[in-house]
Structure 1
Amino acid sequence: MAIETTALTSAGLDSAPGAAVEGRAKIFEMTQAAEEAVLRPQDCGPWSHELRAALAARIATQNNEHKLAAQYGADAGAFAALADPSQDGMAQGLETVVSFMDKVAADTRNVAAADVSALQAAGIADADIVRLCELNAFLAYQLRVISGLRLMKEAYA
Protein backbone atom coordinates (compact mmCIF):
# COMPACT_ATOMS: atom_id res chain seq x y z
CA MET A 1 0.00 0.00 0.00
CA ALA A 2 1.53 3.33 -1.05
CA ILE A 3 0.56 6.31 1.06
CA GLU A 4 1.41 9.76 -0.25
CA THR A 5 0.95 12.80 1.97
CA THR A 6 2.66 16.13 2.47
CA ALA A 7 4.01 14.97 5.82
CA LEU A 8 5.55 11.79 4.42
CA THR A 9 7.07 13.62 1.47
CA SER A 10 8.47 16.41 3.65
CA ALA A 11 9.99 13.86 6.00
CA GLY A 12 11.83 12.37 3.04
CA LEU A 13 9.70 9.25 2.77
CA ASP A 14 8.57 8.88 -0.81
CA SER A 15 6.54 5.87 0.23
CA ALA A 16 5.46 4.54 3.57
CA PRO A 17 8.22 2.57 5.39
CA GLY A 18 6.52 -0.72 5.94
CA ALA A 19 3.91 -1.72 8.44
CA ALA A 20 4.78 1.04 10.91
CA VAL A 21 3.16 3.66 8.67
CA GLU A 22 0.75 1.46 6.78
CA GLY A 23 -0.84 0.44 10.07
CA ARG A 24 -1.57 4.11 10.63
CA ALA A 25 -2.80 4.86 7.13
CA LYS A 26 -6.06 6.33 8.40
CA ILE A 27 -4.16 8.87 10.52
CA PHE A 28 -2.14 9.97 7.50
CA GLU A 29 -5.26 10.21 5.38
CA MET A 30 -6.99 12.32 8.04
CA THR A 31 -3.90 14.53 8.39
CA GLN A 32 -3.94 15.13 4.65
CA ALA A 33 -7.67 15.91 4.80
CA ALA A 34 -7.01 18.39 7.62
CA GLU A 35 -4.34 20.05 5.49
CA GLU A 36 -6.84 20.45 2.67
CA ALA A 37 -9.45 21.87 5.04
CA VAL A 38 -7.07 24.42 6.53
CA LEU A 39 -5.07 25.46 3.47
CA ARG A 40 -7.72 25.11 0.77
CA PRO A 41 -11.13 25.39 2.43
CA GLN A 42 -14.26 26.01 0.38
CA ASP A 43 -14.99 29.10 2.51
CA CYS A 44 -11.65 30.76 3.03
CA GLY A 45 -13.04 34.02 4.41
CA PRO A 46 -10.61 36.89 3.77
CA TRP A 47 -7.60 34.53 3.78
CA SER A 48 -7.17 33.32 0.21
CA HIS A 49 -5.59 29.98 -0.58
CA GLU A 50 -2.47 31.83 -1.77
CA LEU A 51 -2.16 33.80 1.47
CA ARG A 52 -2.67 30.65 3.52
CA ALA A 53 0.07 28.92 1.51
CA ALA A 54 2.43 31.86 2.08
CA LEU A 55 1.77 31.84 5.83
CA ALA A 56 2.25 28.07 5.95
CA ALA A 57 5.53 28.42 4.05
CA ARG A 58 6.60 31.17 6.46
CA ILE A 59 5.92 28.98 9.51
CA ALA A 60 7.72 26.04 7.89
CA THR A 61 10.72 28.29 7.15
CA GLN A 62 10.79 29.53 10.74
CA ASN A 63 11.02 25.89 11.78
CA ASN A 64 13.81 25.06 9.31
CA GLU A 65 11.50 22.83 7.26
CA HIS A 66 12.67 24.12 3.90
CA LYS A 67 11.22 21.30 1.79
CA LEU A 68 7.79 21.88 3.31
CA ALA A 69 8.23 25.65 2.94
CA ALA A 70 9.06 25.25 -0.74
CA GLN A 71 6.02 23.05 -1.28
CA TYR A 72 3.67 25.57 0.30
CA GLY A 73 5.53 28.52 -1.20
CA ALA A 74 4.86 27.16 -4.68
CA ASP A 75 1.16 27.89 -4.09
CA ALA A 76 1.65 31.36 -2.57
CA GLY A 77 1.24 33.30 -5.80
CA ALA A 78 1.02 37.04 -5.19
CA PHE A 79 1.78 36.51 -1.50
CA ALA A 80 5.05 34.62 -2.08
CA ALA A 81 7.09 37.40 -0.41
CA LEU A 82 5.36 36.68 2.90
CA ALA A 83 6.93 33.22 2.99
CA ASP A 84 10.16 35.03 3.88
CA PRO A 85 10.23 35.65 7.66
CA SER A 86 12.17 38.88 7.10
CA GLN A 87 9.08 40.39 5.45
CA ASP A 88 6.72 42.09 7.88
CA GLY A 89 3.57 42.13 5.73
CA MET A 90 3.42 45.92 5.54
CA ALA A 91 3.60 45.92 1.72
CA GLN A 92 0.44 43.79 1.63
CA GLY A 93 -1.32 45.62 4.46
CA LEU A 94 -1.03 42.51 6.61
CA GLU A 95 1.51 43.53 9.24
CA THR A 96 -0.88 42.83 12.14
CA VAL A 97 -1.74 39.39 10.75
CA VAL A 98 1.90 38.51 10.04
CA SER A 99 2.99 39.67 13.49
CA PHE A 100 0.27 37.58 15.11
CA MET A 101 1.06 34.48 13.06
CA ASP A 102 4.76 34.80 13.84
CA LYS A 103 4.11 35.12 17.54
CA VAL A 104 1.72 32.18 17.65
CA ALA A 105 4.18 30.05 15.67
CA ALA A 106 7.37 30.99 17.50
CA ASP A 107 6.40 32.35 20.89
CA THR A 108 3.13 30.61 21.69
CA ARG A 109 3.45 30.77 25.46
CA ASN A 110 3.47 34.57 25.33
CA VAL A 111 0.37 35.01 23.18
CA ALA A 112 -2.08 37.07 25.20
CA ALA A 113 -5.55 38.55 24.87
CA ALA A 114 -3.92 41.78 23.70
CA ASP A 115 -2.67 39.98 20.59
CA VAL A 116 -6.21 38.97 19.67
CA SER A 117 -7.44 42.46 20.53
CA ALA A 118 -4.89 43.91 18.09
CA LEU A 119 -6.39 41.78 15.32
CA GLN A 120 -9.90 42.85 16.29
CA ALA A 121 -8.79 46.50 16.33
CA ALA A 122 -7.46 45.99 12.80
CA GLY A 123 -11.00 45.00 11.77
CA ILE A 124 -10.51 41.25 11.69
CA ALA A 125 -13.63 39.33 12.65
CA ASP A 126 -13.50 36.67 15.35
CA ALA A 127 -14.26 33.88 12.85
CA ASP A 128 -11.32 35.02 10.75
CA ILE A 129 -9.03 35.07 13.80
CA VAL A 130 -10.08 31.47 14.42
CA ARG A 131 -9.15 30.64 10.81
CA LEU A 132 -5.65 32.05 11.41
CA CYS A 133 -5.31 30.03 14.61
CA GLU A 134 -6.45 26.86 12.84
CA LEU A 135 -3.75 27.33 10.23
CA ASN A 136 -1.09 27.85 12.87
CA ALA A 137 -2.29 24.90 14.93
CA PHE A 138 -2.29 22.60 11.93
CA LEU A 139 1.26 23.61 11.00
CA ALA A 140 2.42 22.97 14.58
CA TYR A 141 0.90 19.48 14.37
CA GLN A 142 2.28 18.77 10.91
CA LEU A 143 5.79 19.91 11.86
CA ARG A 144 5.75 17.52 14.81
CA VAL A 145 4.53 14.64 12.65
CA ILE A 146 7.31 15.30 10.13
CA SER A 147 9.89 15.37 12.91
CA GLY A 148 8.58 12.08 14.28
CA LEU A 149 8.61 10.49 10.83
CA ARG A 150 12.24 11.45 10.39
CA LEU A 151 13.08 9.80 13.69
CA MET A 152 11.22 6.70 12.59
CA LYS A 153 13.04 6.75 9.25
CA GLU A 154 16.39 6.84 11.09
CA ALA A 155 15.32 3.91 13.25
CA TYR A 156 14.47 1.85 10.15
CA ALA A 157 17.67 2.83 8.29
Structure 2
Amino acid sequence: MAHVIETAANVSDSGALFEALTMRGKLMDLTEQSHDAALLPNEEGGVPRAARAALACRMAKICRQTGLITHYQALLESYGADADPHRLADPDATPGADAPRLAAMVAYVDLVTRSPKDATKADIEALREAGLIDADIVRLAGLVAFVNYQLRVTAVLSVMGETQ
Protein backbone atom coordinates (compact mmCIF):
# COMPACT_ATOMS: atom_id res chain seq x y z
CA MET A 1 0.00 0.00 0.00
CA ALA A 2 1.37 3.39 -0.99
CA HIS A 3 1.62 6.09 1.63
CA VAL A 4 -0.03 9.49 1.15
CA ILE A 5 3.31 11.12 0.38
CA GLU A 6 4.25 8.49 -2.20
CA THR A 7 0.89 8.82 -3.92
CA ALA A 8 0.95 12.62 -3.82
CA ALA A 9 4.50 12.68 -5.21
CA ASN A 10 3.50 10.19 -7.92
CA VAL A 11 6.31 7.80 -6.96
CA SER A 12 6.32 4.85 -9.36
CA ASP A 13 6.14 1.32 -7.99
CA SER A 14 9.63 0.50 -9.25
CA GLY A 15 13.00 2.17 -9.63
CA ALA A 16 15.63 3.69 -7.38
CA LEU A 17 13.30 6.12 -5.60
CA PHE A 18 10.78 3.38 -4.85
CA GLU A 19 13.57 1.17 -3.52
CA ALA A 20 14.98 3.97 -1.36
CA LEU A 21 11.55 4.62 0.16
CA THR A 22 10.99 0.92 0.69
CA MET A 23 14.26 0.73 2.61
CA ARG A 24 12.97 3.57 4.77
CA GLY A 25 9.64 1.88 5.34
CA LYS A 26 9.61 2.60 9.07
CA LEU A 27 10.01 6.34 8.41
CA MET A 28 7.23 6.25 5.83
CA ASP A 29 4.98 4.32 8.25
CA LEU A 30 5.65 6.86 11.00
CA THR A 31 4.89 9.70 8.60
CA GLU A 32 1.59 8.02 7.71
CA GLN A 33 0.79 7.65 11.41
CA SER A 34 1.53 11.35 11.88
CA HIS A 35 -0.88 12.10 9.02
CA ASP A 36 -3.60 10.13 10.75
CA ALA A 37 -2.91 11.77 14.11
CA ALA A 38 -3.02 15.27 12.63
CA LEU A 39 -5.95 14.78 10.24
CA LEU A 40 -7.97 11.89 11.68
CA PRO A 41 -7.54 12.16 15.44
CA ASN A 42 -9.63 10.23 17.93
CA GLU A 43 -10.05 13.47 19.90
CA GLU A 44 -10.86 16.39 17.61
CA GLY A 45 -11.10 18.95 20.38
CA GLY A 46 -12.01 22.35 19.03
CA VAL A 47 -10.41 21.69 15.62
CA PRO A 48 -12.88 19.43 13.78
CA ARG A 49 -11.70 16.94 11.18
CA ALA A 50 -13.39 18.80 8.31
CA ALA A 51 -11.64 22.04 9.29
CA ARG A 52 -8.33 20.17 9.51
CA ALA A 53 -8.82 18.79 6.00
CA ALA A 54 -9.76 22.23 4.69
CA LEU A 55 -6.75 23.88 6.30
CA ALA A 56 -4.45 21.14 4.99
CA CYS A 57 -5.92 21.65 1.51
CA ARG A 58 -5.37 25.39 1.89
CA MET A 59 -1.70 24.82 2.77
CA ALA A 60 -1.29 22.49 -0.22
CA LYS A 61 -2.83 25.14 -2.48
CA ILE A 62 -0.55 27.84 -1.07
CA CYS A 63 2.43 25.62 -1.91
CA ARG A 64 0.91 24.51 -5.23
CA GLN A 65 1.41 20.83 -4.40
CA THR A 66 -1.10 19.19 -6.75
CA GLY A 67 -0.84 15.67 -5.31
CA LEU A 68 -1.64 16.85 -1.80
CA ILE A 69 -4.35 19.22 -3.03
CA THR A 70 -6.03 16.18 -4.58
CA HIS A 71 -5.62 14.14 -1.39
CA TYR A 72 -6.92 16.81 0.96
CA GLN A 73 -9.74 17.88 -1.35
CA ALA A 74 -10.97 14.26 -1.41
CA LEU A 75 -10.68 14.04 2.38
CA LEU A 76 -12.59 17.30 2.76
CA GLU A 77 -15.31 16.15 0.38
CA SER A 78 -15.73 12.96 2.41
CA TYR A 79 -17.09 15.11 5.25
CA GLY A 80 -19.98 16.48 3.18
CA ALA A 81 -20.87 19.83 1.75
CA ASP A 82 -20.59 22.14 4.77
CA ALA A 83 -19.70 25.50 3.21
CA ASP A 84 -17.44 26.79 6.00
CA PRO A 85 -14.73 24.12 5.83
CA HIS A 86 -14.80 24.14 2.03
CA ARG A 87 -14.38 27.92 2.04
CA LEU A 88 -11.35 27.57 4.33
CA ALA A 89 -9.60 25.48 1.66
CA ASP A 90 -9.39 28.51 -0.62
CA PRO A 91 -6.22 30.54 0.10
CA ASP A 92 -7.94 33.65 -1.22
CA ALA A 93 -10.82 33.34 1.25
CA THR A 94 -10.61 34.63 4.80
CA PRO A 95 -13.28 34.40 7.46
CA GLY A 96 -14.90 37.68 8.36
CA ALA A 97 -15.14 39.52 11.65
CA ASP A 98 -18.17 37.40 12.54
CA ALA A 99 -15.85 34.36 12.82
CA PRO A 100 -12.83 35.56 14.83
CA ARG A 101 -11.80 32.05 15.88
CA LEU A 102 -11.63 30.80 12.28
CA ALA A 103 -10.00 34.04 11.13
CA ALA A 104 -7.23 33.63 13.71
CA MET A 105 -6.71 29.99 12.74
CA VAL A 106 -6.48 30.88 9.04
CA ALA A 107 -4.09 33.76 9.75
CA TYR A 108 -1.84 31.40 11.72
CA VAL A 109 -1.97 28.68 9.04
CA ASP A 110 -1.16 31.16 6.29
CA LEU A 111 1.66 32.81 8.21
CA VAL A 112 3.42 29.60 9.17
CA THR A 113 2.98 28.12 5.70
CA ARG A 114 4.13 31.20 3.80
CA SER A 115 6.71 32.63 6.19
CA PRO A 116 7.39 30.47 9.25
CA LYS A 117 10.33 32.61 10.37
CA ASP A 118 7.93 35.50 10.93
CA ALA A 119 5.75 33.63 13.45
CA THR A 120 6.07 34.95 17.00
CA LYS A 121 4.61 34.46 20.43
CA ALA A 122 2.13 37.22 19.55
CA ASP A 123 0.62 34.96 16.89
CA ILE A 124 -0.05 32.31 19.52
CA GLU A 125 -1.54 34.96 21.77
CA ALA A 126 -3.84 36.03 18.91
CA LEU A 127 -5.16 32.47 18.81
CA ARG A 128 -5.88 32.61 22.55
CA GLU A 129 -7.57 35.98 22.21
CA ALA A 130 -9.77 34.52 19.46
CA GLY A 131 -10.99 31.83 21.86
CA LEU A 132 -8.75 28.85 21.21
CA ILE A 133 -7.74 26.97 24.33
CA ASP A 134 -4.15 25.78 24.70
CA ALA A 135 -5.00 22.19 23.72
CA ASP A 136 -6.54 23.43 20.46
CA ILE A 137 -3.55 25.67 19.78
CA VAL A 138 -1.34 22.60 20.14
CA ARG A 139 -3.65 20.64 17.81
CA LEU A 140 -3.54 23.42 15.22
CA ALA A 141 0.24 23.86 15.50
CA GLY A 142 0.71 20.12 15.11
CA LEU A 143 -1.46 20.08 12.01
CA VAL A 144 0.42 23.01 10.48
CA ALA A 145 3.82 21.52 11.30
CA PHE A 146 2.93 18.10 9.91
CA VAL A 147 1.34 19.33 6.68
CA ASN A 148 4.23 21.70 5.99
CA TYR A 149 6.67 18.81 6.55
CA GLN A 150 4.57 16.66 4.23
CA LEU A 151 4.48 19.39 1.57
CA ARG A 152 8.25 19.71 1.56
CA VAL A 153 8.94 15.97 1.45
CA THR A 154 6.38 15.50 -1.32
CA ALA A 155 7.92 18.32 -3.35
CA VAL A 156 11.39 16.78 -3.07
CA LEU A 157 10.17 13.29 -3.94
CA SER A 158 8.26 14.67 -6.93
CA VAL A 159 11.41 16.26 -8.30
CA MET A 160 13.46 13.14 -7.58
CA GLY A 161 10.88 10.99 -9.38
CA GLU A 162 11.02 13.22 -12.43
CA THR A 163 14.77 12.77 -12.73
CA GLN A 164 14.64 8.97 -12.84
Q: Structure 1 length as normaliser, TM-score? A: 0.90
Match of 1:88 in 2: 94
Tell me, which stretches of 5 or more residues in structure 1 are unaligned? none
Match of 1:48 in 2: 48
Tell me, which stretches of 5 or more residues in structure 2 are unaligned? none
Aligned length: 154
User: 2: distance between equivalents of 1:50 and 1:84?
Assistant: 14
Query: Which of 111, 121, 130 pairs up with 1:103?
Result: 111
Match of 1:13 in 2: 11
Report the secondary structure of 1:90's partner residue.
Answer: coil
Which amino acid in 1 is paired with 2:8?
S
Q: Structure 2 length as normaliser, TM-score? A: 0.86
Deviations 1:35-89 (A, max 9, x none): 0000010011111111100000000000001231122122224211111101102
Which structure exhibits the higher relative contact order, with contacts defined as CA atoms closer than 8 Å and separated by 6 or more residues?
A: 2
Relative distance call for 1:92 and 1:35 in structure 2 (3 A) is farther
User: 2: distance between equivalents of 1:74 and 1:106?
Assistant: 23
Q: How much does 1:14 deviate?
A: 4.8
After TM superposition, list the pairs within 5 Å mapping 1:1-157 onto structure 2. 3-15=1-13, 17=15, 18-76=18-76, 77=80, 78=82, 79-90=85-96, 93=99, 94-156=102-164
Spell out structure 1 runs of 4+ moving beyond 6 A: none
Percent identity between matched residues is 35
Report the secondary structure of 2:163's partner residue.
Answer: helix
